[in-house]
Amino acid sequence: YTVATLGTEVYDQGGNFANPTFTAPVTGRYRFCGGVGVNQLGAGHTQGTLAVATSNRSRTLLQEKMSATATAGTDLAVCGCVQADMDASDTATLTITVFSSTLTVDMLSDVDKTFFSASLMH
């Protein structure tokens, strides 16, 4: 997998994000939403997984079969949300894995396609 490096930070209300890692300020349940845009998909890329990797475990946001949605050289944006329990000082990152080809894909830095958010649920 690859940790998504994000573009321009829009806001960080508590100062808990240092690209690409969110650090939980307090123990609780958090909602994570994220998306990654990739380009230069090859015909051999058959599947991709978008996940949030936390200190405790990794949680899949989306598992996409690419063969039905993309052809060689095209772009694809995937996104989703997940909840996670975290202790204070636990960390979370957005990851993407693309399977079944030796070809490298590029992550898009466009904030409309590659983003990550975290919020404490009350």
Mean pLDDT per 10-residue segment, the chain (122 residues): 77 91 96 83 70 88 59 69 94 82 63 83 90
Residue 84: predicted pLDDT: 93
CB 94 within 8 A of CB 38: no
Residue 36: predicted pLDDT: 82
Residue 29 forms beta bridges with which residues?
85
CB 82 within 8 A of CB 59: yes
CB atoms within 10 A of CB 7: 15
CB 50 within 8 A of CB 61: yes
Residue 78 half-sphere exposure toward CB, CA atoms < 13 A: 23
Residue 63: predicted pLDDT: 67
- For residue 122, CA distances in Å to 3, 34, 96 come to 28, 20, 28
The two counts, helices (H) then strands (E), for the chain are: 0, 10
CB 34 within 8 A of CB 51: no
d(CA 67, CA 47): 7
Residue 22: predicted pLDDT: 95
